[in-house]
Chain A
């Protein structure tokens, strides 16, 4: 099923998500400042809101430099991939009963596929930069994605078992009586951790790791190409927050307020939580990250899946 107003929905979601991704830079800086006893940007415009605009103008006027030793075509392509894959995922996101682009019957799989493709951007950026730190960042991203992608998908299978559908709209409607966060609490925690790793946000920002790898995979990037990585990262944060809302917190369902308001409130709570994670937690060592992923998270996910499956079978 396609939205009744496809063009309007696509344009609306595109404009709103990109604006939000830009605005999130301001939100993040203000919130980080809040939790570090500072004010953050509050000079440019009301509450410093125009800081985003100023930064945007600045970054467009920066020199757009491609290192002579880089693999030019791939170097230029890499930042675009992260934007494209992230934006593609928004196509299956059911925001309200009326606001959506496409209602795929495999929406959840499409989202997982697109977020997995996003890692190509990081790996290719690290490879094309021809810089040892970039390459290390890219390698780390690949390893991290590989191990966290596995249980990210598996942690969602509990939701699929309970709702009996891969269709995100059906999943939201199956939560009318009870949010899936209650029967699937373990799945929620696992997906949250995998989601943070998926967006390469702190404490899982090892591909970037500015204290060890200069700036990781985007060491060689400047100007708007660098900006695209950032916008892609913030798009990912919004996407994962929205997905947590859709999959575990009943999407647009809620009393009194209109569906859109509920969706936004829930999503923004998780965006805030993402930023709180960044404010509070240090980065783990790389081998700790990998062993944590394979030895703790994956078995837990499998147990969760087995128990959920058994309960669903027993109920039948």
Chain B
């Protein structure tokens, strides 16, 4: 009986505690800088698409929410013809970002993506592409990897180191 009264008194004292609730639209919770939110496709410093349509993100995606189709431009450079992410399936695990060899696909700290229509959660390339470089400002994949241009192969241009031999064990 005494324990019941003590419980009631203890519960009553909770009236003067600090509230746990964060009143969301008015006040927003603290987000860590590496928060995994809405996925974007970034561009390199020259303003070109970073994505080389290697399909690694689509392969690694555990819920298969990424769909793309590779194609080549006039110089033989690969880029995605379409790039589609179904955010109603996406679990924001960030594996696509880890898999991406060109830092093209990145997760941002934005989570306010609610829609009334399920179809609106399917983002096309226009919706995903941003104009900036995202988290890696100076990085340009083709500057690091080299590029074949007609007569010259990789590593043959001036001031260009030969590419790494993938089948060689030497450092």
Interface residues of A (CB under 8 A from B): 34-39, 276-277, 279-281
Interface residues of B (CB under 8 A from A): 4, 7-8, 10-12, 14-15, 17-21, 23
Minimum CB–CB distance from A208 to chain B (whole Å) comes to 21
CA distance A183 to B23 in the complex (A): 49
A37–B17 touching, CB < 8 Å: yes
B11–A38 touching, CB < 8 Å: no
Contact of B19 among A37, A277, A280, A281 (CB under 8 A): A37
| Chain B residues with CB under 8 A of A281 | 4, 7-8
| Chain B residues with CB under 8 A of A277 | 8
CA distance A276 to B18 in the complex (A): 18
| Chain B residues with CB under 8 A of A279 | 11
Count how many pairs of residues, one from A and one from B, have CB atoms less than 8 Å apart in the complex.
Answer: 33
A280–B18 touching, CB < 8 Å: no
* CB<8 Å pairs between A and B, sample of 10: A36-B14, A37-B17, A276-B8, A276-B11, A280-B7, A280-B8, A280-B11, A280-B12, A281-B4, A281-B8
B23–A39 touching, CB < 8 Å: yes
Minimum CB–CB distance from A274 to chain B (whole Å) comes to 12
CA distance A281 to B10 in the complex (A): 11
CA distance A277 to B4 in the complex (A): 9
Most B CB within 10 A of own CB, among A36, A38, A277, A281? A36
A276–B19 touching, CB < 8 Å: no
CA distance A280 to B8 in the complex (A): 5
| Chain A residues with CB under 8 A of B14 | 34-37
> Which residue on chain A has the smallest CB distance to residue B13?
A35
Minimum CB–CB distance from B12 to chain A (whole Å) comes to 6
> Which residue on chain B has the smallest CB distance to residue A279?
B11
Minimum CB–CB distance from B19 to chain A (whole Å) comes to 6
B12–A35 touching, CB < 8 Å: yes
B19–A39 touching, CB < 8 Å: yes
> Which residue on chain A has the smallest CB distance to residue B8?
A280
A38–B21 touching, CB < 8 Å: yes
- Apart from A35-B11, A276-B12, A280-B12, what are 17 other A-B pairs with CB-CB below 8 Å? A34-B15, A35-B12, A35-B14, A38-B19, A38-B21, A39-B19, A39-B21, A39-B23, A276-B8, A276-B11, A277-B8, A279-B11, A280-B4, A280-B7, A280-B8, A280-B10, A280-B11
| Chain A residues with CB under 8 A of B23 | 39
Minimum CB–CB distance from B17 to chain A (whole Å) comes to 5
Most B CB within 10 A of own CB, among A37, A38, A277? A37
| Chain B residues with CB under 8 A of A280 | 4, 7-8, 10-12
A37–B20 touching, CB < 8 Å: yes
| Chain A residues with CB under 8 A of B7 | 280-281
A38–B20 touching, CB < 8 Å: yes
B15–A35 touching, CB < 8 Å: yes
Minimum CB–CB distance from B18 to chain A (whole Å) comes to 7
CA distance A281 to B12 in the complex (A): 12
CA distance A35 to B14 in the complex (A): 5
> Which residue on chain A has the smallest CB distance to residue B11?
A280
| Chain B residues with CB under 8 A of A37 | 14, 17-21
CA distance A35 to B11 in the complex (A): 6
Minimum CB–CB distance from B21 to chain A (whole Å) comes to 5
Minimum CB–CB distance from B1 to chain A (whole Å) comes to 10
| Chain A residues with CB under 8 A of B21 | 37-39
Minimum CB–CB distance from A194 to chain B (whole Å) comes to 16
| Chain A residues with CB under 8 A of B8 | 276-277, 280-281
CA distance A39 to B15 in the complex (A): 10
CA distance A5 to B28 in the complex (A): 56
| Chain B residues with CB under 8 A of A276 | 8, 11-12
CA distance A36 to B8 in the complex (A): 12
| Chain B residues with CB under 8 A of A34 | 14-15
CA distance A40 to B11 in the complex (A): 16
| Chain A residues with CB under 8 A of B4 | 280-281
Most B CB within 10 A of own CB, among A34, A38, A277, A280? A280
Minimum CB–CB distance from B27 to chain A (whole Å) comes to 12
> Which residue on chain A has the smallest CB distance to residue B9?
A280
Minimum CB–CB distance from B14 to chain A (whole Å) comes to 5
CA distance A37 to B14 in the complex (A): 6
| Chain A residues with CB under 8 A of B17 | 37
Minimum CB–CB distance from B5 to chain A (whole Å) comes to 10
Minimum CB–CB distance from A197 to chain B (whole Å) comes to 15
